[in-house]
Chain A
Amino acid sequence: MSEFFSLQGLPLLACLLMTAILGYVGLHVIRREVIFIDIALAQIAVVGAIAVHILLGVHEDSLAANVAAFGSILVAAAFFALARRRIHQIPLEAVIGVTYAIAAAGALFLVGIAPGGHSHVQDMLAGSILWVTRADILVSAPILAAAALVFFIFRRPLQAISEDYEGARAAGYAALRWDYLFYVLVGVVITTVVRMGGVVLVFSLLIIPPVIATMLAESWAARLAVTWAVGAVAALGGLGFASLHDFSVGPSIALGLGILVALTGLWRRWGNAG
Chain B
Amino acid sequence: MGDFTGFFLIQIALIAVVLVLHTYIGLHVIRRTLIFSDLVLDQLAAFGAMVGIALGVRYGSSGSYWLSLVAVLIGSGLLAAADPRDKRIPREAAIGILYALALVASLLLGDKLSGGGDYVTKTLAGAMLWVSWPLVIVTAAVYIALAVFHYVFRARFIALADPNSGLRRRRLWDFLFFTTQGIITVLIVPIAGVLLAYAFLMIPAAIAAMFTRGWFRAVALGWSVGIVACALGLGASYRWNLPYGPSLVLAMGLFFLVAVLIRSLRPASRTPAEGAAS
Contacts and interface: CB of A to CB of B under 8 A. Distances in A.
A93 B92 contact: yes
Contacts of B85: 269
B193 to A, nearest CB: 9
A131 B17 CA distance: 48
Interface in B98-114: 100-101, 103-104, 107-108, 110-111
B250 A83 contact: no
B206 interface: yes
B33 interface: yes
Interface in B61-108: 84-86, 88-90, 92-97, 100-101, 103-104, 107-108
B72 to A, nearest CB: 19
Contacts of A265: 84
B175 interface: no
B113 to A, nearest CB: 12
Interface stretch (A50-58, A99-107, A144-152, A168-176): A99-107
B195 A94 contact: no
A105 B253 contact: yes
Given A87-B264, A90-B209, A109 B93 contact: no
Given A33-B33, A101-B199, A108-B245, A208 B97 contact: yes
Interface in B131-155: none
Contacts of B120: 121-122, 125
B267 interface: yes
Contacts of A215: 86, 88-89
Contact of A94 (B107, B125, B206, B213): B206
A33 B36 CA distance: 12
B247 A207 contact: no
Contacts of A214: 86, 88-89
Contacts of B101: 254-255, 258
A97 B95 CA distance: 14
B242 interface: yes
Interface string A180-224: 000000000000000000001001100110010011000000000
B264 to A, nearest CB: 4
A109 B243 contact: yes
B243 A93 contact: no
B107 to A, nearest CB: 4
A13 interface: no
B86 A268 contact: yes
B260 interface: yes
Contacts of B103: 125, 200, 251
Contacts of B104: 200, 204, 251, 254-255, 258
B260 A211 contact: no
B256 interface: yes
Contacts of A89: 209-211, 213, 263, 268
Main secondary structure of the interface of A (DSSP, over half): helix
Give chain B's interface secondary structure class. Answer: helix
Nearest to A246: B111
B108 A122 contact: no
A201 B162 CA distance: 34
Contacts of B31: 90
A261 interface: yes
A203 B107 CA distance: 14
Given A109-B243, A112-B243, A125-B120, A90 B30 contact: yes
A106 B101 CA distance: 26
B235 interface: no
A51 B94 CA distance: 34
Contacts of A109: 242-243, 246-247, 250
A102 B256 contact: yes
A98 B35 CA distance: 9
A248 interface: yes
Interface of B: 30-31, 33, 35-36, 84-86, 88-90, 92-97, 100-101, 103-104, 107-108, 110-111, 117-118, 120-121, 124-125, 195, 198-199, 202-203, 206, 209-211, 213, 242-243, 245-247, 249-250, 253, 256-257, 260, 263-264, 267-268
14 contacts: A30-B89, A35-B36, A87-B264, A89-B263, A90-B209, A102-B250, A108-B195, A109-B243, A122-B110, A125-B103, A211-B97, A215-B89, A247-B111, A248-B111
Which 9 interchain pairs have the tightest Cβ spacing? Answer: A112-B243, A105-B249, A102-B253, A109-B246, A86-B264, A97-B35, A35-B96, A105-B246, A251-B107
Given A89-B268, A101-B198, A126-B117, 20 more contacts: A30-B93, A33-B90, A35-B93, A91-B30, A94-B30, A94-B202, A101-B199, A101-B249, A106-B250, A109-B242, A126-B107, A200-B104, A204-B104, A207-B93, A207-B97, A211-B97, A215-B88, A247-B111, A248-B107, A252-B108
